[in-house]
Amino acid sequence: MKKYVFVLNAIELINKLMNGKRVEGVLYMDENTGRLTFKAYNRKPQVRYHDRLLHRMEHGWVRESKERIKVYESIPKELGTARVMSILERETKEAKNTLIERELDMLEFC
């Protein structure tokens, strides 16, 4: 049994297929004509902005994304609570200084 499929935007669909791309879409029965119809989704590629490294620290980093300032710390437990607390304090000061320097650099350009 043969079925004919009506394809919307056939030229664009063929171009995508000839370029080796996959085409996602929906296959449905058209209410008006009663024909089997394929409609391709108009997918847009996701644009991902990567974080910019502001400062690399001994146990982590400070990065800037499009919307946030990120601070990451990973300290081994073997160092003990007292040393971990002092490292956290020291590296937090480093991160704050980095943000101050970033702000001063931005003011110089203006």
Q: How far apart are CA 21 and CA 30, in angstroms?
A: 26
pLDDT tens profile 8-49: 888 888 888 899 988 889 988 888 888 889 888 888 888 889
pLDDT tens profile 48-85: 899 999 999 999 999 999 999 999 999 999 999 999 99
Which residues, in sequence order, are CB contacts of 52 under 8 Å at separation 6+?
63, 64, 65
Q: Does pTM top 0.75 for this prediction?
A: no
The predicted pLDDT at position 43 comes to 81
The predicted pLDDT at position 100 comes to 95
